[in-house]
Structure 1
């Protein structure tokens, strides 16, 4: 999230808390009911026999040798030789087997001591004859150490808040893996499943990470409203640009294995899920900004709080927009590099299905993000100033009372103290601050 918001803010009036509870609780109950209705009752059938068995192994020896001549044109010379592997699992566990050195694009480079994945192949003509090939390296141990370092760093820096963030991350993955992905795979509407799943993630993560407070409730309402707006904008934009969802090779492959998946809806679902992570950052930051401004200067009216916090939001959005575009570009870098070698005109490349859907994805996510700033800021300003005494703070649109004038005696004392600390030939200091840093005389905001 944007910052550490652990310091408690001013107490929210009971009436405002009741209104927030009456608004948030029904939305949470509706989200849970929708999730239960859409929850997949069965997983799609998968043919376990289509994939060859894979077993762990350890390379014990690598013997390279000269490659034979390749008379066929276009065949590249590669490393040749044999690899001896000790099988660590499966029916041949403990035995030494020999495999050819992996060749071809993306083939792993192996050395003695490497832990690898073996694929057991069966001869179609004689099922009793099997052979092993090296598929890839085992990545389990490095990934475990990296995740452990990731968790330790978060907890060491964020302490209890970091631990709560890790719990929220685990909850997000649990919802994605048990509800969103199986629900889409079972043929449910991807857009509806994504909205319900994103709302469920939002409720769990925000309240778990930031606590059950009025400030968090404002961020929840702002995030939920922005998610719905993002879904509407995505539906309109994809319909206007006639996107089908078949803009990537992965989508085309998915349509072959699961023909009942709505790829157009899957594209919209990706926009919703991808926007959630940035939306909750912006809404939590805006809600916290309003709370901190009101805590620092309780005399600020609703309009003044809104304007001040919106200026912070503008700076946040300006940097976040670039983050969204670069995140999508980084994920699609190989395809973008391939498109640069295309001989077609730039206008034709930009209007292809693949690039058009990335442009729509970035634009819709940014529009939803921009809408989240004024929506969340306005809600936070209303909630923060609710229950105040005085017409200006209650009405929310009047100017605050001017600060109490500084007593003349104190001003003279300050001038004398400032002058005494300078040499006689120094230009007299202008009265700007008290010598004591804890007794500031700066004008109130």
Structure 2
């Protein structure tokens, strides 16, 4: 516990020292996001609850926290919020279909030993829970890309207020292309960093490449990475178009 408190204090000091008031709000947002996720999981344990609806609600609240609470309400956060919600809705339907067809819901055989003492009849639709898990894993990257595009686009418009909507849109796409590669690699390395012990275990058990690829745990993480990459790619044109539309619209009014 002392280590956790020390690390939390160091993080707080760094975020406040570097980010000032916005850094302090960002630090508090970590706890707010944790509270939203915790409440979402509690509500999902109710058999009558719909995990998809809960996920949409949680993503909306998380987006509000990370955009409006940290950066306040302005044109760039509003457009980033709209882009995030539209992308999440599109991605959620795609992920639900993939989860159902790929049959990656539930637990893998590597987890059976730890779960053997528990009852598997929990009364929860694991297809919807699997889709919710993947979308929750991608929400952070999607919000990050959205605000990373709207902010420089607003600066471009501020310094060149006569720019056309088409040129502003293509400027957003150009910014997004630079972000796309790094965001996809971040998701990729996050997977291997978090599951390095699992990969070592696969090696010790002499798993073949085919067994690793067809392992449910491995498949879930790879599908999560691919879906997150799809979400990051989708939000670039969506954010660019919405931001360009509203910036030029406000100028023409």
Query: Normalization by structure 1: what TM-score?
Result: 0.53
* Aligned position for 1:375: 238
Paired residue for 1:253?
115
Pairing partner for 1:263 from 126, 141, 156: 126
Any idea what SS the aligned residue of 1:272 has?
A: helix
Alpha carbons of 1:251 and 1:296: their partners in 2 closer, same or farther (altered >3 Å)? farther
Aligned 8 A contact 1:251 1:263 in 2: no
In the alignment, the residues of structure 1 paired with residue 33 and residue 51 of structure 2 have an alpha-carbon distance, to the nearest angstrom, of 17
Cross-structure match for 1:213: 74
Change (3 A) 1:350 1:279: same
1:360 aligns with 2:223: yes
Larger Rg: 1
C-alpha change, 1:198 and 1:252, in structure 2 (3 Å) is farther
Matches of residues 68-107 of structure 1 in structure 2 within 5 Å? Answer: none
Say whether residues 1:223 and 2:84 are aligned partners.
yes
Deviations 1:93-142 (A, max 9, x none): xxxxxxxxxxxxxxxxxxxxxxxxxxxxxxxxxxxxxxxxxxxxxxx112
Runs of at least 5 residues in structure 1 that lack an aligned partner in the other structure: 1-139, 395-445
User: What displacement does 1:336 show?
Assistant: 1.3
RMSD of aligned Cα (Å): 2.1
1:166 — aligned with what? 27
Aligned residue for 2:251, secondary structure, equals: coil
Tell me, in whole angstroms, the C-alpha distance in 2 between the residues paired with 1:284 and 1:312.
Answer: 11
1:308 maps onto 2:171 in alignment: yes
Q: Alpha carbons of 1:162 and 1:250: their partners in 2 closer, same or farther (altered >3 Å)?
A: farther
Shift of residue 308, structure 1, vs aligned partner: 1.4
Deviates more, 1:362-371 or 1:340-349: 340-349
- In 1, distance between residues paired with 2:185 and 2:112? 26
Residue 140 of structure 2 is aligned to residue 277 of structure 1: yes
Give yes or no for the alignment of 1:345 onto 2:205: no
Higher strand share: 1
* 1:370-398 deviation line (CA, Å, top 9, x unaligned): 10110011000011111435xxxx9xxxx
Question: For the Cα contact (< 8 Å) 2:100–2:127, is it kept in 1?
Answer: no
What secondary structure is seen at the aligned counterpart in 1 of 2:104?
A: coil
1:59 corresponds to which residue?
none
1:243 aligned counterpart, secondary structure: coil
Where in structure 2 are there 5+ consecutive unaligned residues?
Answer: none
For residues 283-324 of structure 1, the C-alpha deviation after alignment (integer angstroms, 9 at most, x for no partner) is: 011111211111121221111111112111111010110111
Compared with structure 1, are the counterparts of its residues 191 and 252 closer, same or farther at alpha carbon in structure 2 (3 Å cutoff)?
Answer: farther
Instruction: From the two aligned structures, give the one with the greater helix fraction.
Output: 2
- Equivalent residue runs for 1:312-323 within 5 Å: 312-323=175-186
Deviation readout 1:254-294 (Å, 9 max, x if unpaired): 96377223333322221111111111110011111211111
What aligned pairs does 1:29-428 form with structure 2 within 5 A after superposition?
A: 140-177=1-38, 179-187=39-47, 188-247=49-108, 249=111, 253=115, 256=119, 259-389=122-252
Q: Distance in 1 between matches of 2:188 and 2:164?
A: 36
CA 1:287–1:252: 2 relative to 1, 3 Å: farther
Distance 2:113 2:93 in 1: 22
Deviation at 1:190, TM superposition (A): 2.6
Alpha-carbon distance between aligned partners in 2 of 1:383 and 1:364, rounded to the nearest angstrom:
28
Tell me: higher relative CO, structure 1 or 2? Use CA pairs within 8 A at least 6 residues apart. 2
TM-score by length of 2: 0.91
Structure 1 segments, 4+ long, off by >4 Å, are none
Name the SS for the 1:246 alignment partner.
coil
The number of equivalent residue pairs is: 250
**Whole-Å separation in 1 of the counterparts to 2:75 and 2:111:** 45
Q: Is the 2:68–2:77 Cα contact (8 Å) retained in structure 1? A: yes
